[in-house]
Amino acid sequence: MVGSAHPTIMKIQRFADARQFYERVKDYLLQQEAMHNLNLGYCNRLVQSPDHYQEQNYLAIAESKSEVIGVVIRTPPFGLLLSVMSTIDANIMALIVADVHDFYKSLPGVNAPINESKAFAQAWCDYTGNKYKLKLATRVFQLEKVQQQNSTPGDLRLATVKEKELLKRWYEEFCQEALDEINVPSDTWVERQLSQNNAYLWYNQAPVSMACRTRSTPNGIAVSMVYTPPEYRRQGYASNCVAALSQELLNQGYKYCFLFADLANSTSNHIYQEIGYQPIGDWQEYSFVE
């Protein structure tokens, strides 16, 4: 562990060991488990599958008088990930920025709850001379009980190696449509989904929609990669796919399901709430331009 301190007893403490880091941050993150499902999910992966992320990870806490006031994670090639921070001021953001810059020199961006994301983006650009722009605005949803499933024909099935090329194509289409980029090569992503039994398809004579289980937290699991090709949209397939997968995950013993929805997509936000997902809070992702 290494750290950098500030006269106000605020400091940044880095961790090289993922288990040690997780033990230090777990209680803080679990105070808002749904808001931190992404942060907790990354911690879980780092502990359970150390080889999942190939490049040098940044794991740190912001402390004030030995109390955790924020959690900072980066797993390249992705941007920086911040938790909700109990204190957001210029001093602590300046400390985080300086320590991250010492570690990486450059960043593609930051993803965090709204206030934390904006504060870091501003502080990073003040420090580096970069400019920032909003890349994606999302809302965190949490589900404890599936409220309804419409009568759209078909059923949920676990994807198999037979659907490998279909999954690859749909993954690429989802990334281009929702994110404008592909961070993880499609072959790598598909192999991971199939080997871990993560990908599910809604079948109506043929596959018509996709949803995946992804990172888990101590009490919950996230749903992601919800995609329906244009020719199958507006027929209730995505709604049924997400509802059935969410119920399957609850049946497996998870207390909650989580997901992030793009705020620009009013259709998906409406669908998720009809299923029983409740809005928890908003996040923003900024990209940095040199």
> Do residue 43 and residue 148 come from a single domain?
no
pLDDT in the model for residue 7: 47
Asked, for residue 286, whether it belongs to a domain, the answer is no
> Do residue 178 and residue 74 come from a single domain?
no
> Do residue 116 and residue 244 come from a single domain?
no
pLDDT in the model for residue 3: 52
Structure tokens that stand for 59 in this block:
């794991």
pLDDT in the model for residue 9: 80
> Do residue 248 and residue 147 come from a single domain?
yes
CATH number for the domain spanning 228: value is 3.40.630.30
199: Cβ contacts below 8 Å, ≥ 6 apart: 158, 159, 163, 167, 193, 210, 212, 225
> Do residue 104 and residue 12 come from a single domain?
yes
Distance CA 31, CA 84 (A): 10
> Do residue 104 and residue 149 come from a single domain?
no
Q: pLDDT tens, position by position, for the chain (290 residues)?
A: 545 554 458 899 999 999 999 999 999 999 999 999 999 999 998 998 776 666 789 999 999 988 999 999 999 889 999 999 998 888 999 999 999 999 999 999 999 999 999 999 999 999 999 999 999 999 999 999 999 777 788 999 999 999 999 999 999 999 988 877 777 889 999 999 999 999 999 999 999 999 999 999 999 999 999 999 999 999 999 999 999 999 999 999 999 999 999 999 888 888 899 999 999 999 999 999 98
> Do residue 245 and residue 120 come from a single domain?
no
Note down the domain range covering 21: 2-129
Reference 55, options 103, 4, 102, 117; nearest CA is: 103
Q: Which of 129, 159, 178 corresponds to the end of one domain? A: 129
Q: How many domains does the chain have?
A: 2
pLDDT in the model for residue 42: 93
> Do residue 119 and residue 156 come from a single domain?
no
Q: Are strands 67-74 and 207-216 parallel, antiparallel or unpaired?
A: unpaired
> Do residue 84 and residue 179 come from a single domain?
no
Asked, for residue 287, whether it belongs to a domain, the answer is no
Asked, for residue 177, whether it belongs to a domain, the answer is yes
Q: Which of 99, 129, 159 corresponds to the end of one domain? A: 129
State the chain's maximal CA–CA distance in angstroms: 66
Asked, for residue 267, whether it belongs to a domain, the answer is yes
> Do residue 107 and residue 190 come from a single domain?
no
Asked, for residue 113, whether it belongs to a domain, the answer is yes
CATH number for the domain spanning 100: value is 3.40.630
Asked, for residue 257, whether it belongs to a domain, the answer is yes
Inter-helix orientation angle 164-174/186-195, to 10°: 120
pLDDT in the model for residue 54: 60
What's phi and psi for 152, nearest 5 deg? -60, 135
Asked, for residue 72, whether it belongs to a domain, the answer is yes
Taking a C-beta distance cutoff of 8 angstroms, is the pair 160, 201 a contact?
Answer: no
Question: Strand pairing partners for 111?
Answer: 81, 285
Asked, for residue 259, whether it belongs to a domain, the answer is yes
Q: What is the 3-class SS of the chain, one letter each residue?
A: CEEEECCCCEEEEECCCHHHHHHHHHHHHHCCCCCCHHHHHHHHHHHHCCCCCCCCCEEEEEEECCEEEEEEEECCCCCEEECCCCCCCHHHHHHHHHHHHHHHCCCCEEEEEHHHHHHHHHHHHHHHCCEEEEEEEEEEEEECCCCCCCCCCCEEEECCHHHHHHHHHHHHHHHHHHHCCCCCCHHHHHHHHHHCCCEEEEECCCEEEEEEEEEECCCEEEEEEEECCHHHCCCCHHHHHHHHHHHHHHHCCCCEEEEEEECCCHHHHHHHHHHCCEEEEEEEEEEEEC
> Do residue 125 and residue 231 come from a single domain?
no
Structure tokens that stand for 178 in this block:
């929702």
Taking a C-beta distance cutoff of 8 angstroms, is the pair 73, 23 a contact?
Answer: no
Q: Which of 81, 105, 129 corresponds to the end of one domain? A: 129
> Do residue 68 and residue 196 come from a single domain?
no
Q: What is the reported pTM?
A: 0.90
